[in-house]
Every structure is written in structure tokens, then in C-alpha cells.
Amino acid sequence: MAYDFNPDKPIHEEALVLKALEIAPDDRMMVRGLRDLAWRGGALRIRYENSCSYIWGTTDYYAGTTAMIEANTRNLARVMGLHLYLQTDPRGATVYVSRGPIPDNRYNTAAQCIYYKED
């Protein structure tokens, strides 16, 4: 995953996600917001993996900066009018969004998973 955000790169199956969330493909701000959420999810997945794999990933500083990124990601989703679920297990995708509340026990069926497919 590249560290630089590219707002022109579509997320995986973007057309299906836009349709499910009832977002017009020409709504540039919402499309860019979804891409930003997916990019942040990729960064968070790496942080979750580091916190499971390395001792330095368990420090208070690392946990605090991860919490800050999570809060900023939640705020972006809120501003977009979306509900957000962050899957903190690094073995899968991280960001799930929906127009309505997302139950913790059904996030994978009640929301749209957004991510960038690895090249």
C-alpha cells in the first residue's frame, strides 16, 4: 500500500458500493470521501497488525496515535452522513460503512466493506 493518498484511484468494486450506499457516481465529494475512508482503513490495518506483532506497537504512544487516526476516520464518516464500523482484527478489511447503524455482530452483512485491492 502506498503511503500517499490518491483521490483518483477507485476503491475495490466502487460502482457496487456507490449503488448500495445510494451515492451518485458524479457526487465527487462523497466519492472522494469514500476513497479517503478506504485509504485510512489501509493505514489502520497496518497499525493493528503492528500492535499484534511488535512490542513497540503496544506502547501508549502508538495506541494513542492509532486512537487519533480512528477518531479522525469516524469524524469523516459522520460528516459524510455515514455510520462506520472499524474491524480491528488485521486479518481482514478494516472499514465498513452504512447509511444506518451497524450492529457489532453483523457488520459484515449490514454494511459495505470499502478497501483498495492490493496490486
Per the domain annotation, does 97 fall within a domain?
A: yes
Output the pLDDT for position 119. 63
Per the domain annotation, does 90 fall within a domain?
A: yes
Higher pLDDT pick, 87 / 3: 87
Domain limits at 38? 14-114
If you count them, how many residues does the chain have? 119
Per the domain annotation, does 61 fall within a domain?
A: yes
Parallel, antiparallel or unpaired: strands 83-86 and 112-114: unpaired
Instruction: Give yes or no for a contact between 17 and 112, defined as CB atoms under 8 angstroms apart.
Output: yes
* pLDDT tens, residue by residue, 25-45: 999 999 999 999 999 999 999
How sure is the predictor about 5, in pLDDT bands with cuts at 50, 70 and 90? confident
Whether pLDDT at 52 is above 80: yes
Per the domain annotation, does 72 fall within a domain?
A: yes
Per the domain annotation, does 52 fall within a domain?
A: yes
Whether pLDDT at 100 is above 80: yes
- At 84, list the grid cell: 462506520
Total-model pTM: 0.91
Indicate the number of domains in the chain. 1
Per the domain annotation, does 5 fall within a domain?
A: no
Whether pLDDT at 48 is above 60: yes
Per the domain annotation, does 4 fall within a domain?
A: no
Spell out the alpha helix ranges (H) of the chain. 14-20, 28-53, 60-79, 107-110
Per the domain annotation, does 8 fall within a domain?
A: no
